[in-house]
Each structure stands twice: as C-alpha cells, then as structure tokens.
Structure 1
Amino acid sequence: MRRLKKKMLRSLQPHSTDNIFIFALRLYSLFFIFSSLNSHGRLVDSHIFIYAGCSQEKYQPNSAFEGSLNSLLASVVSSAPQTSYNSFAMGNGSSTSTEGAVYGLYQCRGDLKTTDCSRCIESAVSQISLVCPYSYGAGLQLEGCYVRYEHVDFLGRLDTSLMYKKCSKSVSNDVEFYRRRDDVLADLQTATGFRVSSSGLVQGFAQCLGDLSSGDCSACLAEAVGKLKNLCGSASASDVFLSQCYARYWASGYYDFSSDSSSNQDQVGKTVAIIVGVLAGLAIVVVLLSFLRRALG
C-alpha cells in the first residue's frame, strides 16, 4: 500500500526530465533565432530601434478599442508580405461606437526586400504594444520600417513635428564636403517617395509616408532638410525623422557615426548566441543522462 501511494504521488508531480527537455527546446529555438539574425546582416540592421512615441491617454483592457487595435495590427502583419506600405481604419463604421475607432499604417524603407520588410514589420508590431502599453496612439520606428496607430484619423494630414534627430561629429573647414552635402540634400528634397542620392563621398536617402500627397511630401522633406542643416550644422552624418518623412546623409562610408553601435550590437548578438548554444548543449546532455539513469533503474 505504501509503495502504491508513492507511485501515485510521483505521477502527480512534474517530471524533472520533461522540464529539462522543454527547457532545452526553448534554448535551441533561441539559438536558431540569434543564428539567423547574425547570418543575415541586413536583417539585424533593419531591426535596429530608432525611436518610439506613445500617447498619454490609455485605453481599458477588453475595451472596444483594444479589439479594433488587435485587428488592425493583425492586418498590418498579414499585409506586409504583399506590399511595403498600407493604411487601415477599424471600428469606425456608422453602426459602431466611435470608441472603437482606430487608424493606422505601416511602411518599410524603400530599398528593403519583401521578406526583410515582412520580418521588420513583425518585429515592430511585437514591440509597439510592449513599448506603449494600452496607449490610444503610438508610433515605432525601426531602421527598416515604421508602424503607427491613433484613435483619431491622422491619415493624409501633413504633420512635420520633429520625432528624432541624430548628429555625428562636425566637419570643420571642408568646403568640398559642404558643397557635396548640399547637392545631396537638394536632390533628396525633390523625392516623392523613397529616394537615394550621392555626390562624391556624400550619400543620403529620404522617404515620405505613403499617405502624403506629392505636394505635402515636398513640404515635409523641405522641413526635414532644413532641420538637418539647422540642428546638425556641420555634422559629417545626420538623421532627422519627422512625423511623416525623414532625411539622412552621411560621408565616407555607410553611417560612419553609427557603425560602432551597430558592430557592438552584432557582437552582443553573437555572444548571446554562443552562450545559448552552450547552455542548450548542456541541457541535452542532462536529458540523455537522465534517460540513461532511468533505463538502468
């Protein structure tokens, strides 16, 4: 009787071997994720966080707005493999309450491949709710893509608010550099969507959101270029992101002023991948030893 009771108690408790095996599988899944990110440098770059903005107003869990927002974000993820830009409006029908209305869009950088665009959007959508929990409005910019939603309709309405800027070290008394930079910025200012420009060693690109008209896009880029010059002055590289467009330029290589942080991020990713791989290997060894011990009785 006592032996039977012990067997029953043992069957009700979670098996340590099963727990270790599940733990090992999770470690291996993490290992493959880090491996894929580090074997595709472009994928790592497109996922670099730039900025996020969140509204102060918060919605209640299980509200009509949360239901509409979940539908919108699901539509964003499902649309990204087909097109690099799309906009949505949910819960704004005449037969429904305006409390559930939500408007949103996403856009990928113009030179991103479809697969990289889709992965970038998935990453942005997974982060936006974590960075801006229960917010009625939020925008999140990664290196390769952008996602935004609001409770009120903002689509197609020009907004040149400054969201983010970054300036590198200054270039002093380099007349040739300033001439080349101004040529690039003048060319970028004529963009109607995504545009890449170069002059000598100076390169740059600019992009407007897809909901802007060509006239509003030109006005937004003119504002962005003006801020690049006024806020960053003689910087050898700089970024300016407004609400509906951005412009960037750099000299002597691709993003000199951020290359250190990018390489550090890649190095951290490789280190984590190595650690995860070692832990996963140890977990598998423990599983095998546990099975052997049970088999030998």
Structure 2
Amino acid sequence: MLRRLQLYSTRQSILALKISSLFSLLSCLSSHEYPINVFIYAGCSQEKSQPNSPFEGNLNSFLTSVVSSSSQMSYNSFALGNGSSTSPEGTIYGLYQCRGDLKIFDCSKCIESAANQIGLVCPYSFGASLQLEGCYVRYEHVDFLGKLDTSLTHTKCSKSVSNDVEFFRRRDDVLADLQGAIGFRVSSSGLVQGFAQCAGDLNPTDCASCLADAIGKLKNVCGSAAAADVFLAQCYARYWASGYYNSASDSSNEDQVGKTVAIIVGVLAAVAVLIVLLSVCRRTMG
C-alpha cells in the first residue's frame, strides 16, 4: 500500500524555499508572465529515514539523475536500489515531469528548483511530492509507477461567476475537450482557457480515468468559480477566464500555505540583508 503523503504544513514553511527563490519570485511580480517556479503544493510521508542511510544515498542519486535527465527530456521515471544485491530499505522509485508546453531549457530550470526544494520541504521523508507551476517531482519507498492513484492533493478556486450562463457553457466545452487528453492538452472556447496533463507513467486508459475524476472534482469543489485548479496524485485539470488566471483571488487552504511560505522567506531574506549590512558597518567602524 502506498504511503499517504501529508499536506505540507506551515510549521515546515521556513524550509520550503531557498532565499534565492524569493528574489526570483519578486523579479517576476512586475511582469504579466506567470513564473514556472511558483510553489503550488507539497506532500511528505510521516515515515522518516535515518541520516547517512542507504535510502538517503539513493535519494541523492535520484535527485541528481532527475536534474541531469531534465536537460534532455521533459519526463522520466527511475527505480534505484531495487536489485537483489541491495538492501530493501534503500529502495526508491520516482519520477519528474514538466508541463507539456515548456521548452527543455525552462523544464530543466524548473526541475532543478524542485529538486533543490523537495529535500528542504520534506527532510528525510520516505516519500514526497512537490508541484511547482511548471513541473513536478515525486518519489516513494514503494513502487507506485504506472499504478492509478486519483487521491486529491490540491485545489484552488477563484471567486464565483454564478450568473454568467455563457461563461459556464464555454467552461464546460473546455473541460469536455480536456477530458480527452492523452498526456498534455490545451483548450479554449471564447474567453475560457484551460489545460490538463497526466503523469507520464499512466497508460491512456488510466489517464482518461484520472482526468474524468479530476474534472468531476473540479466542478464539485469549485462550483461556479471563474478559475479553478484541481491536482490529483497523477493528473490535473485547470481552467480560467481569459486574463483572469494570474489574478484569481480566492483559494483553498493549501494555497494559503504558499502565501505563508513567501511571507516567512521574505522576513528571512530581510534579516539576512540586515545581518550583512551590520557586519559591513562593524568592519568599517573597526
């Protein structure tokens, strides 16, 4: 049975991002382009490995392989330490995947960021997943590859537009089109746009099942929202009104975690700058 990943908590938020990620995010706030390294969600298993254990060694190898592979392809899966000559406690299965419309260069940058962050968000965890705007990394101690998992991991819903009949007709057209995706698909109808994607380890039949479940949850959870995201363990579906996606204001509790991360890291960055300035002043006065 797969270990259930717990949603990333605010108590771990100090570890969520490197201070360098803050400056990358701030540099994008003045632009209309949505940065691909924006944090969406993370999940960590309760079970922990020991420092310097076989699992930790294989995890480091996995993350190194993920970064290296992402410079060549937008999806790959790995199995490390599962040979008969190795200790079972060191076994690790994992994958990474980039959003289907990203160029390889952007994919690689996103994966590098995700690989650097996942160990900070989920230190010593036997299982973890981390979703950024443009990419996804997941690993487990047990083999999950190719096995359908439609558990809900993250939702985000904007304000309601309950009286706009035309909008909902367009939205339903987009979602119906996205449900037929195999891998990654972008769709639009009038002012409504959306995209959906399955993890690369799913076969077409399981991908269709996952997307049907995601779209069903999207309608049930977000109702009449003008923009909505639903992420399941192995697929996601998203839609928005044109020009609205980057400014969607209402969100789920999980999204508030991301905001908390940014605030805390911002405070840490300010403290770090202040320490540097004080150090410079002290040397100057000395």
TM-score range (shorter-chain normalised) is 0.7 to 0.9
- 1:1-297 aligned within 5 A: 34=23, 38=27, 45-255=35-245, 256-257=247-248
Structure 1 segments (4+ residues) deviating >6 Å: 267-270, 272-287
Question: CA contact under 8 A between 1:164 and 1:241: conserved in structure 2?
Answer: yes
Question: CA contact under 8 A between 2:228 and 2:238: conserved in structure 1?
Answer: yes
How far is 1:111 from its partner? 1.1
Question: CA contact under 8 A between 2:158 and 2:250: conserved in structure 1?
Answer: no
CA distance in 2, matches of 1:217, 1:42: 32
**Change beyond 3 A, Cα 1:55–1:193:** same
Question: CA contact under 8 A between 1:68 and 1:90: conserved in structure 2?
Answer: yes
Deviations 1:91-146 (A, max 9, x none): 11111121110000000111112111111111111111111111000000011110
Deviations 1:36-64 (A, max 9, x none): 97279588711111110000100011111
Q: What TM-score does the superposition give when structure 2 sets the normalisation length? A: 0.79
Question: CA contact under 8 A between 1:35 and 1:273: conserved in structure 2?
Answer: no
Moved more, 275-284 or 109-118: 275-284
**Counterpart for residue 15 of structure 1:** none
Question: CA contact under 8 A between 1:37 and 1:43: conserved in structure 2?
Answer: no
Unaligned runs of 5+ in 1: 1-29
CA distance in 1, matches of 2:33, 2:110: 8
Question: CA contact under 8 A between 1:43 and 1:116: conserved in structure 2?
Answer: no
When Rg is computed on C-alpha atoms for both structures, the one with the higher figure is 1
Percent identity at matched positions? 68
Higher helix share: 1
**Change beyond 3 A, Cα 1:253–1:259:** farther
CA distance in 2, matches of 1:130, 1:278: 24
Question: CA contact under 8 A between 1:46 and 1:144: conserved in structure 2?
Answer: yes
How far is 1:174 from its partner? 1.5
Q: In the alignment, residue 49 of structure 1 is paired with which amino acid?
A: F
CA distance in 1, matches of 2:33, 2:167: 31
How far is 1:252 from its partner? 3.2
CA distance in 1, matches of 2:269, 2:103: 25
CA distance in 2, matches of 1:164, 1:231: 11
Q: In the alignment, residue 186 of structure 2 is paired with which amino acid?
A: V
RMSD: 3.2
Aligned residues: 258
CA distance in 1, matches of 2:73, 2:86: 29
Unaligned runs of 5+ in 2: 1-18
Q: What TM-score does the superposition give when structure 1 sets the normalisation length? A: 0.76
3-state SS of paired residue (1:216): helix
How far is 1:176 from its partner? 0.8
**Change beyond 3 A, Cα 1:277–1:99:** closer
**Change beyond 3 A, Cα 1:45–1:254:** farther
**Counterpart for residue 18 of structure 1:** none
CA distance in 1, matches of 2:57, 2:271: 39
Q: In the alignment, residue 210 of structure 1 is paired with which amino acid?
A: G
How far is 1:34 from its partner? 3.7
3-state SS of paired residue (1:46): coil
CA distance in 1, matches of 2:276, 2:94: 40
